[in-house]
Structure 1
Amino acid sequence: MIRRIRGVVLPERVERTFWIDGERLRTEPPAAAASKHVETVVDGGWLLPGLVDVHTHPGAEGPEDGFDEALLRKHLKAHADAGVLLVRTPGTADRMPAWVDTEADLPRVRSAGRWLATPGRFFPGAGRDIGEDELAEAAVEEATASSGWCKVIGDWRWDEPAVPLDVLKATVEAVHAVGGRVAVHCQTGEGSRNAVLAGADSLEHGMHLDPELLDRMAAQGTAYVPTLSAFAGSVEAWQGREPSARRSDWLDGWRGMVGNVRAAHEAGVIVLAGTDSFPCGTVATESGRLLRAGMPAEAALGAASWTARDWLGLPGLTDGAPADLVAYAEDPTAAPETLGRPQRVILRGRVLR
């Protein structure tokens, strides 16, 4: 059986027809279409490349929990059910098992190996605990053992120093030398600054990021992944606390993250949607938060779809591209509340919904 898809493709806003040829999209009917039944699985509406969550941690619901393969499968299935067909896991308690990214009904996975934590930073024992002098070597090991990414915990407590700039810079250079990429957790001004100056490929959270660094981020290609969803639920609780230096620091950091979303986009920084929260499959909510923070509707949508896919090395809806797409009856840039409820979900050429 040959499957056919027709709809308005985003972001191009051009109506196109595709045929599914195995796991690939084709803009011309394959030769077999002349002799086989053709099933139209999408006829009209809006077509997007599969959604993407660039910061999710399937397999454990807390960094201190053990990594569980059954839970990993459950979490990835929840992503796929919501149309999230590509995920990046920037740090886990263990490396991804061999079956990940081979299961036909589970999202494609770009992993970053184990969290890399230097003394006093991160939950003890949750990641790979190493000394600062071991960080560069360990980062290369994790990047080459995963999907090319590694994740460094660049800072931790709000009132303690971040990983020194020279150490972080040497780490980034070592990983780049083997063709890898570095994600850096940063929630302090120093940590965010060091991540940018070291040339990290992505800032995860970026609390207290100095907006004066946005032009440099844009120039060197450092992406901003604010993970607003992971913080938004705590805002009211922090506001209700007794005044303290820690309360002021957290709330200032939250306001800075939200404000930097629009500023980063306007500066030309790649802003991406990552949830860092549960349940899995909620990247549409993060896209909505980026929209409310000031990103244009199409850019906020792209942050959870075509922009993120391109950043992770996968094309959009073009001839020969992976047949990973979601379809909607309404334009999700005009009706963003529909983003998490696609009418059709197609992954690797298979109709999941």
Structure 2
Amino acid sequence: MIRVRGIVLPDREERSFWIDGELLRTDPVPGADLVVDGGYLLPGLVDAHTHPGTERPGVPFDDATLRSHLTDHREAGVLLVRTPGSAARIPAWVDEDPDLPRVRSAGRWLATPGRFVPGYGRDVTEAELVAAAVDEARSSSGWCKVIADWEFGDPAISLGLLTEVVSAVHAVGGRVAAHCQTAEGSHNAVLAGVDSLEHGRYLDQDLLDRMVRNGTALVPTLNVMGNKIDEVRAREATPRRDWLLKGWEGAVANVRAAEEAGVLVLAGTDSFPCGTVANEVGWLIRGGMSAEAAIAGASWEARSWLGLPGLVDGAPADLVVYDVDPTLDPRVLAHPSAIILRGRVVRSRNL
């Protein structure tokens, strides 16, 4: 048996945990090996929007690539990921591998005609969408992912149809993630009561209170657009380029407004390489979120939202350790000094 001791966030109380198998325990066990002594302890980091297994359309989903991507997450201290849509269903062996992060999958992307990359997810007609959403939710970790809108000028899925999807999936105990990057798509998704709004670049801030009432989380994925925004600005002016820039400005502004309204804002990278959720936290902070709220959306709040407790007795033994408080210096989030996954030490340095 091993023991860890440090200052637990967000409570900022010094505690000790004894690791019994894959669980944290608070009752002392004499003779346990002290593998972490000091520092700041967080529940394992979370990437709430990542697509391991393939990096671009046209490239087949591959188990070796999936393992490599998940390993990259783990090495960065990301011990829980949500895959809101994938080119294939996440195979069962992932949950059985103690060396890989825990995965919450939404099955395959659900794309109706004219929305999304043909053949990259699960192509369905609008008449088939409700049944397909229920099927993906039942066949995954309880989630499904709907491409609620797509490109500049394209119509979004109607409010009526999206409401049917949400009602049917909720009826079987599932949850709905919606890809939204247009005003119409975000509007329809919020009014339909989806469980998470992915991107939400043109989200009307007047809808934030509705999101709070519905329990809809916002996953803005600033990292993926922020990393190439200068290149977009340098392009020749076109309606689509202007649409992208205005959407980016809206997405950044929405981050602070969402936090102030009480919307749960989660960190999701939607980009490669995997294991860069610390970058997304940085973007959330630059967007105006407090450091603590941004880190919570990549750790304890995100884990709770996905059904896992924080650092308490009986919780999964998934934790990361930092030399200094990451809420005071968020740059350290990318450099954990210790990582423990499912009770096994991935990295440890006696602090």
CA distance in 2, matches of 1:95, 1:80: 20
Q: Which letter does structure 1 place at the counterpart of 2:81?
A: V
Q: Which residue of 2 aligns with 1:18?
A: 17
Aligned pairs for 1:158-307 within 5 A: 158-307=152-301
Q: Check if 1:3 corresponds to 2:16.
A: no
8 Å CA contact retained: 1:64, 1:123: no
SS of the residue aligned with 1:352? strand
* Deviations 1:167-198, CA, capped at 9 Å, x for gaps: 11100110000000000001111011111011
Matches within 5 A, 1:1-353: 2-29=1-28, 33-34=29-30, 37-353=31-347
SS in 1 for 2:198: strand
1:27 counterpart letter in structure 2: T
Q: How many residues align?
A: 347
Q: Tell me how far apart the structure 2 counterparts of residues 65 and 194 of structure 1 sit (CA, whole Å).
A: 32
Letter in 2 for 1:133: A
Which amino acid counterpart does residue 9 of structure 1 have in structure 2?
V
Contact 2:40 2:321 in 1 (8 A): yes
Looking at structure 2, the residues matched to 308 and 251 of structure 1 have their Cα atoms a distance apart, in angstroms, of: 28
Q: CA deviation at 1:210?
A: 0.6
Q: Give the superposed CA RMSD.
A: 0.8
- The answer to whether the 8 Å contact 1:67/1:94 transfers is yes
Give a deviation string over 1:66-94, Cα, whole Å, max 9, x none: 10000000000010011000000001111
1:40 Cα deviation from its structure 2 partner: 0.4
Cα drift, residue 234 of structure 1:
2.2
Identity %, equivalent residues = 66
SS of aligned partner of 1:326 = strand
C-alpha distance in 2, partners of 1:158/1:211?
A: 20
CA distance in 2, matches of 1:154, 1:43: 48
Q: Which shifted more, 263-272 or 237-246?
A: 237-246
| Residue deviations 1:24-81 (CA, integer Å, cap 9, x gap) | 101112xxx34xx421011011000000000000000113321000000000001001
User: Letter of the aligned partner of 2:340 in structure 1?
Assistant: I
Q: Return the letter of the residue paired with 1:20.
A: I
Secondary structure of the residue aligned to 2:95 is coil
Cα deviations across residues 210-252 of structure 1 (Å, max 9, x unaligned)? 1110110011100000000111122112211222221221111
> Gaps spanning 5+ residues in structure 1: where?
none
1:113 shift after superposition? 0.4
Encode CA deviations 1:265-305: one digit per residue, 9 max, x unaligned. Answer: 00000000000000000001101111111111110110100
Alpha-carbon contact 1:140-1:178 (below 8 Å) kept: yes
SS of 1:100's partner is helix
Distance in 2 between residues matched to 1:164 and 1:65, nearest whole Å: 31
Letter in 2 for 1:201: D
User: What is the one-letter code of the residue matched to 1:19?
Assistant: W
Give, as a single letter, the amino acid of the residue that structure 1 aligns with 2:203. L
Equivalent AA in structure 1 for residue 145 of structure 2? K
Letter paired with 1:108? R
| SS state at 2:46 partner | strand
Mean Cα deviation higher: 136-145 or 226-235: 226-235
Q: What is the SS of the residue equivalent to 2:242?
A: helix
Give the CA deviation at 1:102.
1.4
Partners of 2:18 and 2:32 within 8 A in 1:
no
Separation of aligned partners in 1, 2:45 and 2:58: 28
Q: What is the distance in 2 between the residues matched to 1:277 and 1:49?
A: 23
Contact residue 4 and residue 16 of structure 2 kept, 8 A: yes
Q: Over residues 118-167 of structure 1, what are the superposed CA-to-partner deviations in whole Å (9 max), with x where a residue is unaligned?
A: 00100000011000011010000000000000000001111010011111
Mark the runs of 5 or more structure 2 residues left unpaired by the alignment: none
CA separation in 2, counterparts of 1:99 and 1:135? Answer: 28
